[in-house]
Structure 1
Amino acid sequence: MRLIIAEKPSLALAIAEALPGSIKRQEGAINCGDTTVTWCLGHLLEQAAPEAYDPADKQWRLDRLPIVPKQWKLAPRSKARGQLAVIRKLIKQASEVVHAGDPDREGQLLVQEVIEYLKYRGPVQRLLISDLNRPAVSRALAKLRPNAEYQPLFQAAQARSRADWLYGINLTRAWTLTGRQAGHDGVLSVGRVQTPVLGLIVRRDNAIRDFVPHPFYPLWVDLKVDQGQLRAWWIPQEHQPLDDQGRLIDRAPADALASRLPGASGRLAKLDQQEKRQAPPLPYSLSALQVDAARRHGLSAQMVLDICQLLYERHKLITYPRSDCRYLPEEHFSLAQRNLTGACQNDDSLKQWLNGADFSLRSKAWNDKQVGAHHAIAPSGKPADFSQLSATEGQVFRLIVRNVMAQFYRPLRTFEVKAEFNLLDEAFRARGQSILDPGWKPLFTTRDETPPLPPLTQGEACQVLAAGVEERETRPPEPFTDASLIKAMMNIARYVDDPAVRRTLRDTDGLGTEATRAGIIETLVQRGYLVRKQKALRATRLGSALIAALPSAVSTPERTALWEQRLRGIAEQQDDPGAFQHALLDDLRSLLSHSDAVKLRQSLQTAQGEAAAPVKRAGKPKKSYTRRKSTGKSTGKSTVKSKTTSG
């Protein structure tokens, strides 16, 4: 018997349906003639607990650290024992095994570790599938490769798994025991990914706490030009008192200039006009969907993941959701009209979008070269029964359909104008945008972000109708939300200074994966490190204290980049798993030496004091004054409370 072991049930079914012969289901498997297809349920195995190596390590003790297994062991996950038993029985009957994990590092590990754990010694082939359509699966079945070719990929994934265990087990025990000495009764969990995520939030909270606002003074002019009026803003010169964002922080120069401007004449010194075309946003990866669903509907990352799983498994309305890809296989293009028509049958908004689609258009979304282990999330084509969907399920489903539907809309065409006027030897800038063809834009918003300017001609004259100085105030950074934190985890390179590390992080998936990011956020909440305040994610006193007490190397993302460099080298046979672990242990021993009960106690006390401290506030803004041509006199206006972000 040939036994195919898939990573998940949906993949197993797709494989079975592509095999010749009739399908016969049995417990935990599908039989197709002389081939049986079974599946894992994610990872069936996990790294064994420390006490599995030495019973003495069941008790947490500082003098036992670091714990380093001499011979690594795996143990069945508690909820996976039943399926593991099914595979154990089938593999004993198999003359050949086919590894059908996802075509990536973790997919290689997930199935191969089961094969090795069950001590199968026969031939193993590798089946690589990234598209569940039957023709694509059939082609993949005809191109099996020896699994031995992927041994370096397995070694890299195995090295990552063991490194995470060493890092998490030892640092969690060290800081938990240190916490007890400092008076904290509870586990202080430390991890390679979760702790840098917590560090992001703590540093953002600290920036908000320590932020001292200052006023700045933008000066505007209303100008009469040949074919209308517009508003332009003064660009202060470098000799003026400016902050690091180029904003004027002394009102006197603005007031002095404003008093001279009414009635002044000038000319249009620079004019930049160009038509721009913008392609529709690509279909969603999971993280991109989580960002949009959080912004539009206030859904947490975990809620979006849970909803997607229901839409995929229970309702069968979408394709596999835990994808990091925003492209679709080229083969899907011919099926898109049918699938979208089915998806839109029972919803008026979706029908309206469908009626506006032009299925002769082909966007860049269909690109086999960009499709990896999975393709973008897309509707399956099954009609949705919205009476059977919750309100939030309907919202997420419409987003998924919309982003695929947008591929059949024309590009957004705009006419953008940037104008610089010279008045009294000073520069004033204005910008505007006209919509030439809304294309896909109405599917996303009906709001015009930048109003248009009247028609302009290089060198034309202008005259000041009015001028005014506003007093605005800088604002602190915004606290993280589910949307902005997921985006930060996806683009973690932005938060790193070292150029080499930044490059590595740009080439990887950032912090966490599509499947784990939501869980990381929820884990930090459940462990008492984060709390949700309306939409904001804020660090608790405990979370802030832990980051303050840990070495900075533990709470910043650089380690992920350094690990990724080594793991990539292992996968490409340019590095050695043993050397990687040896370097990690040296690093780990150094970090363990920094566990300090006094520092942690002080961090806990400091965090408690800061939580009770009043927030810094700026003084009351002054009034804004407007200069008008008619009188040239100052007229008091109500306080301008608009503010801009400090950067």
Structure 2
Amino acid sequence: MRLIIAEKPSMARAIAAALPGAPRKQEGAIAAGDTLVTWCLGHLLEQAPPDAYDPALKQWRLDTLPILPERWKLTPRPKARGQLAVIRRLLKQAREVVHAGDPDREGQLLVQEVIEHLGWKGPVLRLLVSDLNRPAVQRALARLEDNARYRPLYRAAECRARADWLYGINLTRAWTLTGRQAGHDGVLSVGRVQTPVLGLVVRRDAEIRDFTPRPFFVLWADLAVAQGRLRAWWAPGEGHPLDDQGRLLERAPAATLAERLPGAEGRLTALATQEKRQPAPLPYSLSALQVDAARRYGLSAKAVLDTCQALYERHQLITYPRSDCRYLPEEHFAAARATLEGACRADDTLSRWLAGADFSRRSRAWNDKQVGAHHALAPTGRHMEPARLSATEANVYRLIARNVLAQFYPALSTREVKAEFTILDERFRARGQEILEAGWKPLFTTRDEAPPLPPLTEGEACRVDETGVEDRETRPPEPFTDASLIKAMMNIARYVEDPAVRRTLREHDGLGTEATRAGIIETLVERGYLVRRAKALRATRLGSALIASLPEAAGRPERTALWEQRLSAIAEATAEPAPFLAELVEDLRRLLAHADAAGLKRALAEARGEEAQAAPARGTRRGGRSRTLNQSAKGSRRATQRRTS
């Protein structure tokens, strides 16, 4: 008997439906011919708690840190024992096992750790399914691989789990215990990904809080030219008081010039035109979709992930969603027309876009060299029934389908014009854009980026009709939102100060993974470190104090981004886990030496004062601060038994 172990029941049902013979349900499995398909329920196993290694470690004490297991143990999750028993029984009957976890690092770990924990010594094949529709699953079943090929991926995932345990357990215990000494009653959870993400928000909030606006002034002039009118902006020279971005810091020079300009004549002294062709945006990775869906529909990152899971599992309308890839396999190109016709016909908007697609076009999206274990999100071709989808599901589905449809549209072709006028020996600049061919752009927006300028000829005369001086102020950075925080996590090198590390990270950008970023944000909210105010994500007093009390390196992204590099090297079989874990232990010892109750007490007091100072400015309602603190404590207590990554 062949036993296929899927990651979850929905995957098992899809696999069973694609096998020869009528599926027959059994206890914890589905039979089809000589094959049984069973499933995990997400992770059936988890890292054992410290007291599994030594009962004395159940009590939290600083003198027992760091906790360093000599031989790692896994333990069944509380609700997983029944299904684990089913798999154990079925393994005794099997002649061959097929690993059918999701096609990513965690999917490899989730099923393989069960197979190894239960002591299976026989052959294991690997089934990679990224589309739950029957034809796609049948194609995947015809291409089974030796699971040994994916052992480095499993070792990387196992190493990640152990490293997260070491980092989270030891630092969480250390800061919780020093927090008690400082007067804080609750768990202070520290993790190698969640804490740097919190640090991003805390530092952004501090920039906003400490920002001092500075006035600057701009002068515009409406010009009459041979074939129309345009607005140009004064470019003051070095003799004027300017900041490092060339902004005028005093109003007097602009006001004086504005009085002299009406009726003045000048000439167009420099004219530059450039035609550009911009290909369609690539199909989505999960994070790219989360950014766009947050901006367009105000959805949280978790809401987008949950919606994608429903579209993938329940409705089977899209391919595997937890993907970090924005490219599609070349073999999918031939079937793209049929796939998109099936996916888009029932929706008015999508069918209108479908009618404009030219399926003879082949964009840069079809590229096997850019496709790893999984490809970009795409429609499966299954018939969409709008009545069965919620409004959010329909909106997210349209975004996914749109970005694939856009690959069959022409490039956006524009002509950009930059003009410089000389009037009264001063320079005035204008720029505009003309759309030559809209291409894919109408699928995304009907708004022009910049209005076109009238036809211009270098050397032609101009005359000033009207002028105006505008008083402006520099603005603080915007607070993080779900969209901008996900984007920051995707492009973390931008927030790294060390130039050498920043250069290294550009090829391996990313804090967290496609599968975890949404959960990290929600975890920080649940634990009381972040709070949502409208669309903004702001740090609470507790979150700010935690970052202030930690060594700076623990709240910055460099460490965890470099971790991902090392884990990628392990997954690619170019590095071993042991040296990485040994270096982590030494790093932990240095971090633990910074646990200081006095410093944490001071940080809590300072954060309390900063929050009280900021509350009137942001219109906090009476009693609002106490609610935030209560939520923080409640969230911290819930964190006690959670994984702290």
CA RMSD across the alignment: 2.5
Determine if the alignment matches structure 1 residue 54 to structure 2 residue 54.
yes
Which one-letter code corresponds to 2:193 in the other structure?
V
Which range moves more in the overlay, 304-313 or 102-111? 102-111
Partner of 2:360: helix, strand, or coil? coil
- Equivalent residue for 1:452? 452
User: Is the contact made by 2:50 and 2:57 (CA closer than 8 Å) also made in structure 1?
Assistant: yes
Alpha-carbon deviations, 1:126-158, whole Å to 9, x = none? 445556676776666565554444433332222
1:259-278 equivalence runs, <5 A: 259-278=259-278
Partner of 1:46: helix, strand, or coil? strand
Distance, in Å, in 1 between the alignment partners of 2:86 and 2:235 is 72
CA, structure 1 residues 608+260, in 2 after alignment: closer, same or farther (shift >3 Å)? Answer: same
1:175-574 equivalence runs, <5 A: 175-508=175-508, 510-574=510-574
1:100-119 equivalence runs, <5 A: 100-119=100-119
CA, structure 1 residues 294+54, in 2 after alignment: closer, same or farther (shift >3 Å)? Answer: same
1:17-56 equivalence runs, <5 A: 19=19, 23-56=23-56
Partner of 2:430: helix, strand, or coil? strand
Unaligned runs of 5+ in 1: 618-647
User: Is the contact made by 2:11 and 2:313 (CA closer than 8 Å) also made in structure 1?
Assistant: no
Distance, in Å, in 2 between the alignment partners of 1:576 and 1:615 is 50
CA, structure 1 residues 206+508, in 2 after alignment: closer, same or farther (shift >3 Å)? Answer: same
Distance, in Å, in 1 between the alignment partners of 2:212 and 2:447 is 34
- Equivalent residue for 1:627? none
User: Is the contact made by 1:412 and 1:439 (CA closer than 8 Å) also made in structure 2?
Assistant: yes
- Equivalent residue for 2:164? 164
Distance, in Å, in 2 between the alignment partners of 1:203 and 1:124 is 48
The offset of 1:229, in angstroms, is 1.4
Which one-letter code corresponds to 1:85 in the other structure?
A
- Equivalent residue for 2:93? 93
User: Is the contact made by 1:267 and 1:421 (CA closer than 8 Å) also made in structure 2?
Assistant: yes
Alpha-carbon deviations, 1:234-267, whole Å to 9, x = none? 2222343222322111222222333333333332
Which one-letter code corresponds to 2:36 in the other structure?
T
Distance, in Å, in 2 between the alignment partners of 1:21 and 1:85 is 26
Distance, in Å, in 2 between the alignment partners of 1:157 and 1:83 is 22
Alpha-carbon deviations, 1:376-429, whole Å to 9, x = none? 222233333333332222222222222222223222222211112223333221
- Equivalent residue for 1:630? none
User: Is the contact made by 1:131 and 1:329 (CA closer than 8 Å) also made in structure 2?
Assistant: no
CA, structure 1 residues 392+19, in 2 after alignment: closer, same or farther (shift >3 Å)? Answer: closer
- Equivalent residue for 1:581? 581
Question: What TM-score do the two structures reach when normalised by structure 2?
Answer: 0.89
Which one-letter code corresponds to 1:479 in the other structure?
P
CA, structure 1 residues 334+81, in 2 after alignment: closer, same or farther (shift >3 Å)? Answer: farther
User: Is the contact made by 2:132 and 2:313 (CA closer than 8 Å) also made in structure 1?
Assistant: no
Partner of 1:470: helix, strand, or coil? strand
Which range moves more in the overlay, 417-426 or 551-560? 417-426
Alpha-carbon deviations, 1:426-463, whole Å to 9, x = none? 32211101122222222221212210001112232323
User: Is the contact made by 1:2 and 1:94 (CA closer than 8 Å) also made in structure 2?
Assistant: yes
Which one-letter code corresponds to 1:181 in the other structure?
Q
User: Is the contact made by 2:219 and 2:233 (CA closer than 8 Å) also made in structure 1?
Assistant: yes
Partner of 2:600: helix, strand, or coil? helix
The offset of 1:15, in angstroms, is 4.8
Partner of 2:473: helix, strand, or coil? strand
Partner of 1:594: helix, strand, or coil? coil
User: Is the contact made by 1:566 and 1:575 (CA closer than 8 Å) also made in structure 2?
Assistant: yes
Q: Give me the identity figure in percent.
A: 74
CA, structure 1 residues 100+389, in 2 after alignment: closer, same or farther (shift >3 Å)? Answer: closer
Question: What TM-score do the two structures reach when normalised by structure 1?
Answer: 0.89
User: Is the contact made by 1:131 and 1:375 (CA closer than 8 Å) also made in structure 2?
Assistant: no
Which range moves more in the overlay, 206-215 or 458-467? 458-467
CA, structure 1 residues 309+156, in 2 after alignment: closer, same or farther (shift >3 Å)? Answer: closer
- Equivalent residue for 1:6? 6
The offset of 1:499, in angstroms, is 3.2
